[in-house]
Structure 1
């Protein structure tokens, strides 16, 4: 094919037709030459071969493996296929992102066309493809004439990623959530308090802590059994959570002890919340266990406190309530 040195606007109709025919012939030759060898050039799992897109004519050539992987036979589709044959099968949530990636590449706003997306198979299911392409031919004005790339089926990888994500979520729940009560764990709460201290140091937002210990819980286990004791712990958490706000966090600190973090809350407001909890407990009958109360300590954060110091202060107040009268609040 001769090198084109004249602009398209200077060509006659017959010259333009000839030019297009020459480009198409060259394009088909490129595709046919590579079709049998491209899978050997990229021997990775999921390789579906190369594709070549003649931008001006919207003519797309591709390895038939990309088509059969979607459940189609070559005879089922038109002889000439445009870019929209595949883009029309994109998942609705991926369509605009994929198209924008291509638009950005066509206007040279990105170095390479590279995208992952879901595409619908003939039977209506979706699988994952990874596409990567680059401009292989431009006109004199730097506008793309041919873009060539390679496509992979990455469905297995995506399934593994999703399984790993679910496993990590389950592991995180095991680490952060108490299995019996559904409250946060001690470890989680320690991290939350440390974060609140950092927040205080930068924003000077005071926070408060409430420590609760179920009164006479050992008697519940000894007299009614551990199954009833477990039920009491779960019911206790449900009652305690009722007056809490979305931003508050409740953790099982250990055994029958629970710690509440109240972000952006002064001592006065924290005592009000603690009293709501105390009243809720006193007005709720836990079946066989009857009324279950708690000894409660309330403290706000003092500037310069470490995490341990802040927790020790509220813990001491809780024990003061326990050794004085039980079923009361100390602050």
Structure 2
């Protein structure tokens, strides 16, 4: 807060000597002035948000220090969502952006974060609550910087331009169709619309099925290795962009071959499926769980640092060991954990988690470890060497 000019301050001292520190009247007046200035700032923010709601159909306010995003009531209503439907962070905003517009929007946002510009204005589509997409104009402006020069706060406003955009696209299509000649514009639009709708429906169904088969493990119905590698690269980019923590967990079922040999592959498959269900039911929506191969699985924990990842892995270890995965069948798992550092490659991150898992296996299995240098400050102890079956 800048210092006030004493000559203009309503409670300025009338003499050159400093005030008596025991003069409670002076203290009270100074405190009142500070309170008044805080109230003025709060009122200014409130007024700004009211103005944004008047001139726009949805406003947002991003705090770079906390990552918190405050969205106006109009923002939710414009897209048909109940107020407070989304968590107050940028991930929920990213999730409603049309995939064809995502890259250009992120490029614009990146320019603000890296201070290549202090504002942007961009048109893109947002997913509404009914699954349809709405064209909006998003205008944003940096309004506050941190002492180190990084962005501290951005405000923005969304404007509904759907009808204008649809009209533009419709006009473009009409001009193309008029060149076809004898078929009337109305009939041609009707025919083409029906044909495109039918083809798009078939195409979407095929694409969804192909994507599902390409990205999902057929036995456990979670992400496969290919999908996991794509997701990990994406989460690393996100961690770098927002300077968030990121942890990786590799877990391996102990002595799984003994399960297959003792009970048969059908029971072995059932054990895998039920173990996966137990994990999936105890992780967040943003976490990514995948089958790496055989009895080895991997888990990405966005915004989770190493000690929290170790604690969470230990809870999973205990949960799995106490769950009957088939009649009379219990298993244990070994866990290796690593935390992402901004100089890491994907291989570095995996190598540290894999080395931790290797030590667990060499020390009796059924425990959780991370690379020594990562957990040098961790004072955690894990249970080991419990019976598998």
**TM-score in terms of structure 2 length:** 0.48
Partner Cα separation in structure 2 for residue 219 and residue 104 of structure 1: 65
Are the equivalent residues in 1 in contact too, given 2:338–2:352 (CA < 8 A)? yes
Deviation at 1:323? 1.9
**Aligned equivalent of 2:359:** 320
Q: Does 1:236 align with 2:275?
A: yes
Cα distance in structure 1, aligned partners of 2:355 and 2:225: 17
Separation in 1, partners of 2:164, 2:280? 50
Task: Measure, in 2, the Cα distance between the counterparts of 1:301 and 1:110.
Answer: 47
Alignment of 1:1-331 (within 5 A): 113-114=170-171, 132=174, 149-152=185-188, 153=191, 154-288=193-327, 290-331=329-370
Q: Secondary structure at the match of 1:151?
A: helix
Runs (4+) off by over 6 Å: none
Give yes or no for contact 1:244–1:273 (8 Å, CA) kept in 2.
no
Structure-2 residue corresponding to 1:58? none
For 1:246 and 1:237, locate their aligned partners in 2 and report how far apart those are by CA, in whole Å.
15
Gaps (5+ residues) in structure 1?
A: 1-92, 116-130, 137-147
| Contact 2:321-2:333 at 8 Å conserved across structures | no
Deviations 1:90-124 (A, max 9, x none): xxx99x99xx99x869xxx9668549xxxxxxxxx
CA distance 1:269–1:176, shift in 2 (3 Å): same
With the length of structure 1 as denominator, give the TM-score of the two structures: 0.56
Q: What is the CA-CA distance between 1:283 and the residue it aligns to?
A: 1.4
The CA RMSD measured in Å over matched residues stands at 3.2
Evaluate the alpha carbon distance shift between residue 277 and residue 294 of structure 1 in structure 2; reply closer, same or farther with a 3 A threshold: same
- Secondary structure at the aligned position of 2:174 is classed as strand
Local SS of the residue matching 1:212: strand
Number of residue pairs matched?
Answer: 206
Structure 2: distance between partners of 1:312 and 1:174: 28
SS in 2 for 1:197: helix
Aligned mates of 2:230, 2:201 — CA distance in 1: 27
- Once residues 258 and 168 of structure 2 are traced to their aligned partners in structure 1, the CA distance between those partners, rounded to angstroms, is 71
Cα shift at 1:316: 1.5
Equivalent position of 2:62 in the other structure: none
Kept in 1, the 8 Å contact 2:267–2:326? The answer is no
